[in-house]
Amino acid sequence: MPSLVRPLLQRRTALLTTAAACALLLAGTVQAAAAVGQPAPAFTLTDTSGKTRTLAEFKGKTVVLEWTNPGCPFVRKHYDSANLPGLQKEFTGKDVVWLAVNSTEKAASDYLAPQQLARWMQDKSGAPTATLMDEEGTAGRAYGARTTPHMYIVNPQGTLVYAGGIDSIASARASDIKTATNYVRQGLDEALAGKPISQAQTQPYGCTIKYKS
């Protein structure tokens, strides 16, 4: 084999091997995303007060995961109207754990530091059990969270039983809330009554999560 051809073939083989490895990594990422009916991915995150929180600490309770970003108009729709604060208060009053998760990377223009996010949540009368910081995006990617809001329900056994949108009308208009089917309330009511969730997967809508690249 000519001396000039051999290095070119070796380089091409290396590139193909790298591409194949990347494809496998991507496939693994997709397969690792949370699936309804499967165990909810574990996570360890810090809340806005600096306390370490894990999903495991809430085993035995129904848990709602709410991906949020105050810079998103779809999130503001549900907070300014008191829809999300109302849901949080209603269901934490029924012993449901509600965790708001912010996976916005620090470099994003609408990123809020923990104290700022806590202040915003307080100003909006939000009442989650905790607000969690996920700047590295590990929890968000594990769940396959794509939008804010993107909602999940985990049952007391640690199984993911709902994934999708907060409701049935994908708009940023608060006036649509009263005519939309609230999938989270519906799912929680069914789960707490010991019934299977009738719409366990729906289409999430909102702003794209700004993950760390």
CATH of the domain at 48: 3.40.30.10
Q: Report yes or no on 77 lying in a domain.
A: yes
Q: Report yes or no on 83 lying in a domain.
A: yes
Q: Report yes or no on 54 lying in a domain.
A: yes
Q: What is the pLDDT of residue 77?
A: 98
Q: What is the pLDDT of residue 14?
A: 39
Q: Report yes or no on 122 lying in a domain.
A: yes
Q: What is the pLDDT of residue 28?
A: 30
Q: How far apart are CA 212 and CA 48, in angstroms?
A: 19
Closest CA to 100 of 137, 139, 130, 125: 130
Q: What is the pLDDT of residue 34?
A: 87
One domain, residues 23 and 103: no
Domain interval for residue 101: 34-208
Can you list the alpha helix ranges (DSSP code H) found in the chain? 5-32, 73-80, 83-92, 114-123, 138-143, 183-192
Residues in the chain, how many?
213
pTM of the model: 0.85
pLDDT in tens for each of the 213 residues of the chain?
444 434 433 444 333 333 333 333 333 333 357 899 999 999 999 999 999 999 999 999 999 999 999 999 999 999 999 999 999 999 999 999 999 999 999 999 999 999 999 999 999 999 999 999 999 999 999 999 999 999 999 999 999 999 999 999 999 999 999 999 999 999 999 999 999 999 999 999 999 999 999
C-alpha separations of 114 from 46, 117, 147, 161 in Å:
9, 5, 20, 29
Q: Report yes or no on 5 lying in a domain.
A: yes
- What single string gives the DSSP state of each residue in 100-114? EEE---TTSTT---H
Q: What is the pLDDT of residue 197?
A: 98
> How many domains in the chain?
2
Q: Report yes or no on 161 lying in a domain.
A: yes
Q: Report yes or no on 213 lying in a domain.
A: no
One domain, residues 12 and 50: no
CA-angle at 165, arms to 159 and 167, nearest 5°:
120
One domain, residues 23 and 122: no
Q: What is the pLDDT of residue 8?
A: 39
